[in-house]
Amino acid sequence: MNPVLQVSELQKAYGAIQAVGGVSFEVMPGEIFGVIGPNGSGKTTMFNSVLGQIKADAGSVRLNGQDITGLDPRELNQRGVGRTFQTLQVFGKMSVRDNLIVAAQEHEGTMFGRLFQPGDSGLGDKADAMIDQFRLRHVAHKPAGSLSYGQQKLVDIAMAFMSDPDLVLLDEPCAGVNPSLVGGIFDLLKELNKTRKGSFVVIEHNMDFVMDLCHRIMVMVEGKVMAIGTPDEIRANKDVLDAYLGN
């Protein structure tokens, strides 16, 4: 089996700070791959370099064997890579349903939805199916900005899945979410992984969430990979316990 994502020797510095110092890992088809590490260990910088949000200084990124190093986020989206951000990216004044339609339109390369009120453009059924899967039916026609933070987070995640991506990168899906909604996000990601057979990369500080959700986990410390392994291997790793989990 060939990896979906292959990151090799990725590097990114901000002046004297080596935010990402030669990170390599692979994500296999259908795998949920977690990324953990202390604040400032380079997780988001690594993500943004993989996703073309920022330009890496060195290293390469391959998607299904093809070199995608340096492609911009729109090109990546059209090649089947979805993402969520640490901060919400929903359009507050648009309805939940229209947010989902716009996300799919962007994948198809039309800016129509951003420029005008989106019509259905054949994507309404798909948006409705996603709304049902994410249990958002009761708020589907409300402006996304009027929803609770946790519900907006669900909309944000649903938007990433509207393009039927092979690979989705989720940056802290639980951050700021009321604990009562965290279980819902967990169940959804498990279900999406099973039904859509996509691969996910998940940055998350919630240890129970990440340990239960992920097949393998990478630990980053000071811009480098300290360990990659199954949750049990990571829990038992002495270096990881000393540097991170034991705190």
Cβ proximity to ligand ATP, 19 vs 162, nearer residue: 19
How far apart are alpha carbons 88 and 170 in whole angstroms? Answer: 12
Q: Are 236 and 204 in contact (CB under 8 A)?
A: no
> Please, what is the minimum distance in Å from the beta carbon of residue 48 to ligand ATP?
8
Strands 216-221 and 32-36, sheet pairing: parallel
> Please, what is the minimum distance in Å from the beta carbon of residue 235 to ligand ATP?
20
Strands 5-14 and 17-27, sheet pairing: antiparallel
> Please, what is the minimum distance in Å from the beta carbon of residue 53 to ligand ATP?
11
CB within 8 Å of 122: residues ≥ 6 apart: none
Cβ proximity to ligand ATP, 53 vs 78, nearer residue: 53
> Please, what is the minimum distance in Å from the beta carbon of residue 35 to ligand ATP?
8
Cβ proximity to ligand ATP, 41 vs 193, nearer residue: 41
Q: Between vectors from CA 229 to CA 203 and to CA 57, what angle results, nearest 5°?
A: 55
Q: Are 144 and 91 in contact (CB under 8 A)?
A: yes
Token representation of residue 93:
């004044």
| Residues binding ligand ATP: number (CB under 6 A) | 11
Token representation of residue 27:
């994500």
6-65: contacts with ligand ATP (CB under 6 A): 14, 17, 19, 37, 39-45
Contact string (CB under 6 A) for ligand ATP, positions 190-229, x = contact: ----------------------------------------
> Please, what is the minimum distance in Å from the beta carbon of residue 169 to ligand ATP?
12
State how far the alpha carbon of 232 is from the alpha carbons of 36, 108, 214, 226, in Å: 14, 40, 11, 15
Cβ proximity to ligand ATP, 37 vs 165, nearer residue: 37
Cβ proximity to ligand ATP, 175 vs 182, nearer residue: 175
Give me the residues that bind ligand ATP (CB under 6 A), please: 14, 17, 19, 37, 39-45
